[in-house]
Amino acid sequence: MAKKDVAKKETKVKSVKSSGKGERFADMSQTAIIIDEAALEKGLEEKPEEKKKKKKEKKVRGKKYLDFKKLLKQKSYSLKEALELLKKAPLGKLNGTLEAHLNVVTKGLSGKVSLPHFQAKVKKVVVFDEIVAATIKSGKIDFDILLATPADMPKILPLAKILGPKGLMPNPKNGTLVPDPQKAIVNFSDNALHFETEKDSPIIHTVFGKVNQPIEELEANFTALITAINSKNIKKIVIKSTMSPGIRISL
């Protein structure tokens, strides 16, 4: 048989008679693609966040961090004991910030406090107008607090997708949605430290000093913070420096 005839034979499509009027249909069974439906469904059901978790590697801690963590033998410490431990911890060359992380009784707690021995970060406060609106739309947000009136909200709502994730939406609870924003600027321009719970959790994250400050000053700052939040609202307190593990404080 000639090579040409062999090629024709190999590529010939097998036909099958139908039960109707004698039509012939190509039999594609030999070239069909088999789909594993179970595997396909599993892939579709798997959420993007689950895929990210698989890829996420376990965070590796440094030797100094792990050595310091071994020193924490108790479940909780007095404030003074915890501060003394943090001052001795050989963690990082920079003068770390001291943080307080508090589990409170409910979401929505917020307020401000002036710590006696702490210079709060100076925040830029703006009042909503057409110029500020244009700045927000451009994505070049150069302010920390946005004040507005209730009458401004119809113009602000279309910008919620930009402002919301940054925690900049005006809100009456934290005093940023007010009848007279110009007067309210004073409340945000002082040396006060502002605190509030996470949006979806009854947890407050804030700062109260620097590691190199005297313990007496740090104790005074911490006491002022707890007084402002009200100890009756607090379920658990953990403090830490920028680079250290958390240390639970006895209530």
What CATH homologous superfamily does 62-120+191-251 map to?
Ribosomal protein L1/L10, rRNA-binding domain (3.30.190.20)
* 149 CB-near residues (< 8 Å, 6+ apart): 128, 177, 178, 179, 180, 181
**176 close to 112: Cβ distance less than 8 angstroms:** no
> Does pLDDT of 161 surpass 80?
yes
Average pLDDT over residues 102-111: 93
Q: Which fold has domain 122-189?
A: Rossmann fold (3.40.50)
Identify the bridge partners of residue 239 per DSSP, sorted by sequence position: 100, 247
Task: Look up the pTM and report it.
Answer: 0.58
* 233 CB-near residues (< 8 Å, 6+ apart): 104, 105, 106, 109
pLDDT in tens, 162-186: 999 888 999 988 889 999 999 888 7
The full set of domain ranges for the chain reads 62-120+191-251, 122-189
pLDDT in tens, 61-81: 777 777 777 778 788 999 999
pLDDT in tens, 115-138: 999 877 778 899 999 999 999 999
**197 close to 168: Cβ distance less than 8 angstroms:** no
CA angle 15, 19, 21 (to 5 degrees): 90
pLDDT in tens, 11-50: 444 444 444 455 554 454 455 545 455 554 555 455 556 5
